[in-house]
Structure 1
Amino acid sequence: MRTRVGIIGAGPAGLALAHLLRLRGIDSVVLEARSREYVERRVRAGVLEHPTVELLREAGVADRLDREGMPHHGLSLRFDGADHRIALTDLTGRSITVYGQQEVVKDLIAARLEAGEPIVFEASDVRPHDVETDRPYITYVDADGTPQRLDCEVIAGCDGSHGVSHTAPSTVPSTRHEHDYPFAWLGVLAKAPPSHSELIYTHHERGFALHSMRTPEITRLYLQVPPEERIEDWSDDRIWDELGRRLTADGFTLTTGPIMEKGITTMRSVVTEPMRHGRLFLAGDAAHIVPPTGAKGMNLAIHDVWVLAEALGRYFGEGRTDLLDGYSDTCLRRVWRAQHFSWWMTSMLHQAPGADDFQRRLQLSQLRYTASSTAAATSLAENYVGLPYR
């Protein structure tokens, strides 16, 4: 096969890029290691920034999002046994929308297949080649076991932190900035109505907890645990008991129900610089990872491919290379802002191992200031709802 843009990965980044390119008349082929069923059922992020929602609307793939998404105009910081609401919309004029990453993926897959554009699922041994030349190509083995070659002019690596794109041979030296956090999140998906109308970020002496949701019938909840914790040691009863302890507040009742999924995720920050190697452009988790506290991962990926689609449109349409040359720097400015915000939220809300009373009192001081100062609350709000793309 031959195409203009070969896209590795059918997550939100790869699929959004393919859709944005199609709107510009640029053909592409998407290669995905997993099956369609797996990709559409993979539960990940669930908070969409205001600019992300606006982009999906402009791209014509937000019909179901607008019907089923859950707009939120505020969130709660819960500490000292009480809620302190951050009024996102009142402070910024913008909001967030709770809509699962897998739902965004379903919408983008449906739009692409309806347009008759190719997605190659279950492609194994995917490898980019000759990325430093003007004739890059990708080799892979299709679902029938047949070796294939995809010739292209540009390769987009949207295959996540465990993919092959960020390890592709390159003559361009890269720097990988990494930071490991001394805790993990135990996350559960429960068949239970949300216990609160908005997200609750809880600072508690036993550790951080987060109350979120995916639909009016399904709740998403998280507990801070040590990174070496084993999920086998957490029965459903133990999980609900610990959530009840940490989320306690006056007038709050935790709604429980059957736990559908549970798992433990370590927390880290990663930034790869630059995000380009010749004709290979990295996007999303292939280039950067943020701790989930700030709800930035999928939103950064969508911003990356928005920048890349615009740059490729100018390149193929007008022969301009300046936007492609500036791709990495443009994306990294937003990436580092999101990294700082996510680190700040994480540091303010979690109980660090070995923290003394002095450090805990500093955390509470920051929380109280953020909840009581309009300037501090506005800073949190504008970062949380998403800074403008331009």
Structure 2
Amino acid sequence: MKHELKYNQFHYFEKQQLEDYLNEMAKKGKYLTKIHSQYLVFKSEPIHQIYYYIDVYSQKDGFVDVPQKEEYFEYFQNNGYELLDYCEPFYIFTSLENKPIHTDEDVEKELIRKTSHRHLLSDLFFCTCWMIILWMKFSIDVFSVSSDYWLMNIVLWLFVLLGYFVASIYPYLKYKLTKKVEYSYIHILKRSYHTALIFACLLSLLAVIIAKTPYITYGIIIGVYLLLCLIGNYLIGKTENIWLAMKIPLITFCFTAIISFFYLISGVGYPQMNIPLTAQKPYIVFQQSSLAGYVNYQDTDGNRLAYFESYCDQIYPIVFNNMLINEHYKKTTDQGYDIYYINEDDVIVSKGHRFLRGNHQLLNTDTKRYLGFGW
């Protein structure tokens, strides 16, 4: 018995489209065995007469679970329908006779409205939470006062809202205004592909923004994804194989991420950082914008160091004051260098817009290795 997976992104108001699609597949000898929130499972059998019917029924009132109504299922069983499977609010019944389900249209529309609103609000809530968490993460570091940070946030919000609009808001608004849905399964596949394409483009743009590639790269990426949109539409229209089409933006994003990573560690896009003590091994600048850079590394003796340098006047006092705000230290000055002694394993040497943090053997006034930094 051969099984086949088909993509399932039918909205709650697209009940008739799902029902028509199942019956079209049955005419080709492919019969539904299971429905999942993301896919439909079909099995191939010799063609025989069977009809699929879908009713909408929810065990939730808003966000609250309500008891399952046994009389609901008894009604269909007594009228010759057999429950095949369900994925709320779609309940799929089969029958050997061509007798469509007749339900109260107003009740059905109200149920679709409530279910759609619940999921729209739920998606919007999680989307907003994700964006707030991301904003909080970046707002506490040196990115928060750089143009890179704001550019990243604008791109994030724009593409997340655009993807959310294409996937959910626009289809629902169209349904609410026209009170009908007139498109096929192919249309639903293309809508899902466009949503995935938007998010893949978003992640690719994030990769090149963090790597600080030339601005022309942003336009190239958007152009590439517009071309992928046309290619994917063609493939889906010819084969109905969205799994094949989805691989294209995924591979493109992976390729962009790899290129961006190597561009980032090369340091081409940022001012050159000259660390004050020779590193024991190659290191990666783990945080840098066009305004400041920060790196952890080890010197040739294996001592762990943290080096920061600012390329503008505004950033240095913010970072330095936040670093010392909860520390108890003794400050001394030597030939223009400020030494902050916190404990034997934590000493900071500062001058201008730079500081180096390490242990007392490297940085205190006995060894005075900081005098050779040339700051």
Whether these two folds match at TM > 0.5 is: no
Structure with a larger share of its residues in strand: 1
Larger radius of gyration: 2
User: Greater relative contact order: 1 or 2 (C-alpha under 8 angstroms, separation 6 or more)?
Assistant: 1
More helix by share: 2
TM-score range, shorter chain: under 0.3
